[in-house]
Amino acid sequence: MRLRNLLLITLAPLLLAAWAGHVFLGDKKQDPAALALLAYQHQVEAARAKAATGDYAEFTVLGNLLRKAPEPLRNPAEALSWLRKAADKGYPPAQVAVGEMYEAGDGVKRDYHRAAEWYGLATRLSKDATAHFRLAELYFRGQGVPQDFSRALSHCGVAAAQGNPVAQYLLGTMTESGWGIERDPIAAYVYYSLAAERADRVKAYRAEFDPFAARQRLVAGMNKSQIEVAEKHLAAARAAAPAARPGNS
């Protein structure tokens, strides 16, 4: 109740400004930021109502809304509380979200080891693409776990097989460079090409990740026969690829 009252007090000036704009200036002069904040608040309240009588999925929806909310709605502490209710009961999406909060130091002290533990739980309970990808990155960098390219490659492969484009890009990098596996330019070509099909999502994850540039660099060192074989493998990979999933990023 205190939180709700605080939010209402904080939002009141913004909502009043939006109302005044509507009354005195017309719809075109309404403050877009205030309206967006109000819409997000409605979304949070709707999720809160569902979570009150819902299940682990509803807890996770509310937790993610609260941790990703714009200020002043953002509430990492409450987000973690809802997410832990689901994560502690073995719900993989919530376990991933808790791991992300520890990895980022979002509302808690940054702790890569605990992040790895939560991702590891999720990977053991499911083939959640995000969990496998996040754990792969920690093994790749040696954060919270010993650096292990073989394990990074294995977890990255699970995520890439489900269509995660960033995992596909990283597999391209690992197979091109021979990290955790023998160098294989043909496999790297396939992974970079798959990642390039959703290059916007790859670059949104990390601006310096450019699958087009990586493939161009790779092709410069390949002969015509290798490229032809790679294109055949790429066609087969596309035919076997699963439909894009919302969480595969």
pTM of the model: 0.80
Q: Which pLDDT value is given to residue 114?
A: 98
Three-state DSSP class for residue 110: coil
- Please, which residues have CB within 8 angstroms of residue 90's CB and are 6 or more apart in sequence? 121, 125
Q: Tokens at residue 189, please?
A: 């070509």
Q: How far is it, in rounded angstroms, from Cα 180 to Cα 216? A: 23
Q: Mean pLDDT of successive 10-residue segments in the chain (249 residues)?
A: 44 45 51 91 94 93 96 94 96 97 96 98 92 96 96 96 95 95 96 97 95 97 96 93 52
Check residue 199 and report its DSSP letter: H
- Residue 55 and residue 60: Cα distance in Å, rounded? 9
- Name the nearest CA neighbour of 153 among 127, 128, 182: 182
The reply to whether omega before 72 is within 30° of 0 (cis) is yes
Provide the 10 A C-beta neighbour count for residue 53.
Answer: 7
**So what's the pLDDT on residue 125?**
85
Is 130:166 a contact under the CB 8 Å cutoff?
A: no
